[in-house]
Amino acid sequence: MNSFTLTQAAAIDEAVRDKASHDGSAYLGGGTNLIDLMKENVSRPTHLTSLGHLPLAQIENLPDGGLRLGALATNADTAWNPEVEARYPLLSQTILAGATPQLRNMATNGGNLLQRTRCYYFYDLATPCNKREPGSGCSAINGYNRVCGVLGTSESCIATHPSDMCVALAALEAVVRVQGPDGERTIKFEDFHRLPGDKPEIDNTLNAGELVTAIELPAEGYAKNFTYLKLRDRASYAFALVGVAVGLTMEGDTIKKARFAVGGVAHKPWRDQEAEKMLEGQKASPDLFRQVAAKVFAEAKGYGSNSFKIELGRRAIVRALKQAVEMDYALDNDAFLNTNP
Amino acid sequence: MSLHFIQEPLDKTAPHVVPAQAVTLNVNGEDHTIQIAPWTSLLDALREYMDMTGTKKGCDHGQCGACTVLVDGKRINSCLALATVYQGKKITTIEGLGSEDNLSPLQQAFVDHDAFQCGYCTPGQICSAQGLINEGRAKTEDEVRELMSGNLCRCGAYTNILSAVMEVLHDGQVVVDNGTLVTIPMQPTKSSSVN
Amino acid sequence: MSQTIATPPTVRLDSDVVGKPISRPDGPAKVSGSAKYAAEFNVPDLWYGYVVSSPITKGKITKIDAAEVLAIPGVKQVFSHENVPTYAWFDRSYKDDVAPGGSPFRPLHEPEIMFNEQPVALVVAETFELARYAASILKIDYEVDESFNTDLEKARGKGFDAPKGKTGFLPPPKPKGDAEGAFKAAPHQVEGQYEHHAQHHNPMEMMATTVEWLGDGKKMKIYDKTQGAPNVQQYLSKIFKLSTDEARVISKFTGGAFGIGLRPQHQVFMAVMASLELEHSVRVSLTRQQMFGVSHRPHTIQDLKLAADDQGYLQSLQHYALGETSQYENETETVVNWSGILYKTENSKFGYELTKLDIETPADMRAPGAATGSFAIESAIDELSYKAKVDPLEFRLLNYTYEDPTENKPFSSKRLIDCYHEGAARFGWEQRNPEPRSMRDGNMLVGWGMATGCWDASMQKSAAKASLTADGKLTVSSATNDQGAGTYVIMTQIAAQTLGLPLEQVTFQLGDTTFPAAPVQGGSWTAASVGSAVQATCQELGKKLLKLAQKMDDSPLDGVDLKTCSSWTATFARMRILASRSLLRTC
């Protein structure tokens, strides 16, 4: 970890100015990702602008019936906020599925969006990584790529975005509010994270110096029919191999509105709006769900140690949709087990 | 076949080390002023600069929970916390929960249930369990297991840790606040049913 | 269901204290955070050493440029093969009690890189953070040799017979009968490959050493994370030519080990080396990542061929294992012998080979060899029982042996059959449905089996010291260790029981080379070995006490002979009464 100076900013514009005035500076939120990366020498800022004192931790109602989550509210406070639990239980359960209580008490909402991939090669300075050092190569493509992506990958990079919360935010169609040297603006969640393309070193569409001030949720929280299905190598405290967040509005057996996103499979939470439209207006059925799942993974590409994610992802979508329809997370012995699309 | 591997210099400019400065931390009810640079973690500040070695370093990367302390009653991983940022907060370490001659109910429960072997994860487990109790969320064994999963134990004392925590939970919820025990009412919760 | 499963026996212990559950005497220290581990001793004016690890697997260091690092204020020294002296010439100086055959690794000795994460430099600075940073910017050029192999699968067929060299090494049992012929002739056969990869000890506490430089010649207090302070002291003494006074090693609490602390690891070498060179107190702690480069249970591939007749009697047993080792030492384990010890057959053949890979020397880890061998034989026996259509437990009872087939000697005791019966009764083996996928619990399929574990009950030479004060406080000490297994507890119990004292009056001390010598805490021998020493020492203490008591005028203990004395406790209780009248001196 290199040496650095640190400023504790008291206001947003002070923070923006402080960062802009230092070369090689970074914003510090909860530190759960940045400090980890600095100890690994992957991130080497020489100045930190600490945001802990900024008045951005509130969670408050929006006039359109939505909810604004302050960027500096912790993941724990957000997950256990009464409004979030009541109106956006999908978000609450998704946050609680990630990390640990200790990490959730430190991690901020803004930081959760900005956390970097956990690809092994990104972390290992001894191996080539285009995200860490553009042009050096991608060690994951022919390496241990169990945690890497199968959708939207490129020849430069197959890394995944590791967040659970972001998968729910994608399904909820949240909006990200940011502030920077050029003022304030909003970014639709689906536009916030990028695909790697030939510039894998850039994770998101923030401009230089911008910081996330809030995440705004629309009024619809899918509180009646939702699920977050997280599949991973152990029962807790592990990243998703595949995670599916689903929100539905139903009328009897018919799906009126469907939103879902898949995590662990791409550089950003994966939404497929055509697949969502396949569900709308239809009666829920295993065959329908399998068709939708097949559509989502039709272009998927495996790289050896992660090829299992394609079949697992298909089955996860089918299972998650079933859970969201029935709001029953206990598995039962019927046609959905051992599905063979 | 011979290749060259050169550990590329991380800084293109000459290395600069920011000097130490006075940082005041409130730990277990007392203010301590130490001379540290911004890069010192709260964990190292406790262990190396304040001789409070009860809090342990198990991984230094937020992956094991051995470094768990309480900040304003909430559990965090002190290894990922920069000490300077935690000025002005109430930090409680294992030493603040009780001493050898005056163990807290939770510490006593750990002894009674043999909820440790080597003892190295133990301070982190206890601070984490105290944080869990403060949260007032976990009620059942499954819930306690899930909400204690941020603390690893290589000796495998998990079942006894669970029974120690359940014993204290069963006796009522307590919060250590400024050294006094306070009972907080049970909060209504939905059970977590995420896979 | 088998008719051979009987009612489980009840075991009675004739004991007041030993074997009874008690709270650990070290408990309050551990739960209050006051127990100190190796990196936690507050030594004044301490410097910090940070290890630099090789990012390549094989090759050599061509250049180290430490100038920039040394120029940073607060950095004290950069140690590497370029400036670390050769302390001792011969391999034997670097061999510790647990070392296998071969040439022990000498840290910072040569530019050659033999394994990934090999320590290549130590940076010493005034603070931990500065040492860590300086280590990260130290410029090292390597010449990389891409012709390395770390994959055991690629080395199949390149094994050599596992050689002697490691204390306790047992070659595979000799062949009996015609194993291959009997295999071919038998109606039920199982043939398979069983493999496990490297497993890392990764105790919660990282390897660490704090050396306190006492400023009196070369005297140091070395707080080390180890499973055996005497073994570390011996190692350091031989290499650095230190007396036991100069190299006192202390290990009061060990944060788990599982085998990684049996041998002195490179951080203790480097901390002591730095301390001697700089004449200053130094602390070195490895990082969690570096723990993966210290050692591990070896990747092992095993081939088994078993055959049985229609009744379920074993006709043939062949067990072969191939284990990885480093290029420089031959780490051996006892892998295949357990199969031969557990099951009786007329036809058997065993083999155990090693192959050298470009890795660090593997180490003992949690039942080394036995965990490896048992998983293979027990899995194969299970599969064979299914082939022969015999209940897996019944199969083991049919092939049970009261003699060690590898030595043709009866076991001095073997209670395994009682364990089988008791296990079957407690777990309700009767309810088990042998058909695969036949048992469910809600939406989960239930798999239900049983297996046997086996380990030798060895003993090692041990010593202890006991002293009793006039007010009846007993202190017993030995240089043994407690990595969490409970040495503090059981020795306290043994001492208390031996002399009939309440537990609160007994203190057991360990982990200091000034205490009587004890073996490394490993091999599951500490209870038997150090426990016996504690018991014998306390008995000797008791005898001395009795003699003193008998010397008193009108002693009520006059004529009491301990050989015929029915109760130690009663005798000692009378002695205590006398002591309370201030009539006895300390032994």
Tens-digit pLDDT profile for chain A (341 aa)?
A: 999 999 999 999 999 999 999 999 999 999 999 999 999 999 999 999 999 999 999 999 999 999 999 999 999 999 999 999 999 999 999 999 999 999 999 999 999 999 999 999 999 999 999 999 999 999 999 999 999 999 999 999 999 999 999 999 999 999 999 999 999 999 999 999 999 999 999 999 999 999 999 999 999 999 999 999 999 999 899 999 999 999 999 999 999 999 999 999 999 999 999 999 999 999 999 999 999 999 999 999 999 999 999 999 999 999 999 999 999 776 544 433 333 32
Instruction: Count Cβ–Cβ pairs < 8 Å, chain A vs chain B.
Output: 113
Confidence at residue C22, expressed as pLDDT on a 0 to 100 scale: 93
A93 phi-psi bin (left φ>0, alpha ψ -120 to 50, beta other): alpha
Mean pLDDT across the stretch B77-97?
A: 98
With bands split at pLDDT 50, 70 and 90, how would you rate the model's confidence at B177? very low
Q: What does the alpha-carbon distance between residue C196 and residue C301 come to, in Å, rounded to a whole number? A: 7
CA distance B163 to chain A (A): 19
Residue B10 touches partner C, C-beta closer than 8 Å: yes
Q: Do B128 and A102 make contact, defined as CB atoms within 8 angstroms?
A: yes
C-alpha span between B98 and B110 (Å, rounded): 12
| CB spacing of C136 vs A1 below 8 angstroms | yes
What is the pLDDT, as a whole number, of residue C441? Answer: 87
Q: How would you classify the pairing of strands C314-325 and C119-125?
A: unpaired
Q: Which of A41, A126, A332 sits opposite C136 (nearest CB)?
A: A41
- The residue assigned the tokens 């203790």 is C268
* Whether B82 and A35 lie within 8 Å, measured CB to CB: yes
Nearest-CB residue to C144 (from B4, B98, B126): B4
H or E, element range at C537: helix C526-550
Q: Are strands B21-27 and B90-92 parallel, antiparallel or unpaired?
A: parallel
> Measured between CA atoms, how close is A257 to chain C, in angstroms?
30
- Residues C507 and C492 sit within 8 Å (Cβ to Cβ): yes
pLDDT tier, B170 (very low <50, low <70, confident <90, very high otherwise):
confident
Minimal C-alpha gap between A133 and chain C (Å): 17
Query: For position C571, what pLDDT does the model report?
Result: 65
What DSSP line would sit under A69-84, residue for residue?
Answer: EETTSBHHHHHT-HHH
Alpha helices in A47-204 (DSSP H): 75-79, 82-87, 89-96, 101-106, 109-114, 120-123, 165-171, 189-192
Q: Partners of C145 in the beta sheet? A: B2
CA-CA-CA-CA torsion for B120, B125, B127, B130, nearest 10 degrees?
-150
Nearest Cα neighbor of A288 from A249, A324, A280 is A280
Residues of C in contact with B35 (CB under 8 A): none
B76 Cα to chain A: minimum distance (Å):
4
Q: Does C366 touch chain B (CB under 8 A)?
A: no
Quick check: A94 contacting B, CB < 8 Å?
A: yes
Using a CB-CB cut-off of 8 Å, the residues of chain A touching C129 are 1
Task: Give which of B61, B120, B125 to mutate to test C binding, by max C Cβ within 10 Å.
Answer: B120
| ipTM of the shown complex | 0.95
- Nearest in space to C518 (alpha carbons), one of C527, C504, C529: C529
CB pair distance less than 8 Å for C204 and B9: no
For the full predicted model, state whether its pTM sits above 0.90.
yes
Q: What is the pLDDT of residues C199-222, one digit of tens each?
A: 999 999 999 999 999 999 999 999
Q: Which residues of B touch A (CB under 8 A)?
A: 5, 7, 10-11, 15-18, 37-39, 41, 60-62, 65, 68, 71, 74-77, 80-82, 84-85, 128, 131-132, 135, 137, 145-147, 149-150, 190, 192-195
Neighbours of chain B (3+ CB pairs under 8 A): A, C
Backbone region of residue C258 per phi and psi (left: phi > 0; alpha: psi in -120 to 50; beta: other values): left
- Chain B hits for C39, CB-CB cut-off 8 Å, are 47, 57
pLDDT of residue C96: 96
Residue C308 is predicted with a pLDDT of: 98
Cβ contacts of B56 on chain C, cutoff 8 Å: 37, 204-205, 255
Instruction: Give the chain A residue nearest B136 (alpha carbons).
Output: A80
Does B128 contact A105 at a Cβ distance shorter than 8 Å?
A: no
Query: Are B132 and A101 inside 8 Å of each other by CB?
Result: yes
AA identity, residue C351 = G
Which amino acid, C433?
N
How high is the pLDDT of residue A299? 97
Region B178-183: what's the mean pLDDT? 46
Identify which of B64, B66, B111 has the shortest CB distance to residue C28: B111
b/e sequence C38-48, b meaning 16+ C-beta within 10 Å: bbbbebeebbb
CB contact under 8 A, C129 and A1: yes
Cβ contact (<8 Å) for C442 and A330?
yes
Residue ranges, chain C, pLDDT below 50? 1-6, 8-9, 11-12, 582-587
User: Do the Cβ atoms of A96 and B150 come within 8 Å?
Assistant: no
Using a CB-CB cut-off of 8 Å, the residues of chain B touching A102 are 62, 65, 68, 75-77, 128, 131, 150
Chains near C with 3+ CB pairs less than 8 A apart are A, B
Whether residue B61 and residue A50 make contact (CB cut-off 8 A), yes or no, is no
**Per-residue exposure over C133-170, b if at least 16 CB sit within 10 Å of its own CB, e if not:** bbbbbbebebbbbeebbbebeebeeebeebeeebeebb
| Among candidates C36, C130, C204 on the partner chain, residue whose Cβ is nearest the Cβ of B17 | C130
Whether pLDDT at B2 is above 90 = no
Residues of B in contact with A228 (CB under 8 A): 194-195
CB half-sphere exposure, B149, CA atoms < 13 A: 18
Contact A167, A246 (CB under 8 A): no
A29 in contact with B, Cβ within 8 Å: no
Of A1, A126, A331, which has the smallest distance from its Cβ to C443's Cβ? A331
DSSP-assigned letter for residue A65: S
Chain B residue with minimal CA distance to C73?
Answer: B17
- The tokens describing C205, both together, are 């506490």
Chain A nearest C-alpha distance from B45 (Å): 15
Of B98, B108, B121, the CB nearest to C204: B121
Secondary structure of C298-361 as H, E, C letters: CCEEEEEEEEECCCCCEEEEEEEEEEEECCCEECCCCCCHHHHHHCCCCCEEEEEEEEECCCCC
Q: Mind telling me how many Å the CA of C442 is from chain A's nearest CA?
A: 8
CB–CB of B76 and A102 under 8 A?
yes
Instruction: Tell me if C204 and B44 make a contact (CB, 8 A cut-off).
Output: no
- Interface test with chain C among B7, B97, B161, by most C beta carbons within 10 Å: B7
**pLDDT for the residue numbered A337:** 38
C27 touches chain B (CB under 8 A): yes
pLDDT at B176: 44
CA distance A54 to chain C (A): 28
Contacts of C442 in chain A (CB under 8 A): 330
- Residues of B with CB below 8 A from C56's CB? 5
Interface contact flag, A333 C443, Cβ < 8 Å: yes
Q: Do B58 and C205 touch (CB under 8 A)?
A: yes
* Interchain contact A333–C (C-beta under 8 A): yes
Do C24 and B114 lie within an 8 Å CB cutoff? yes
Kindly provide the b/e burial profile for residues A164-187, where b requires at least 16 CB atoms within 10 angstroms of the residue's own CB.
bbbbbbbbbbbbbbbbbeeeeeeb
A2 contacts C133? CB cut-off 8 A: yes
Cα separation of A313 and A230, whole Å? 11
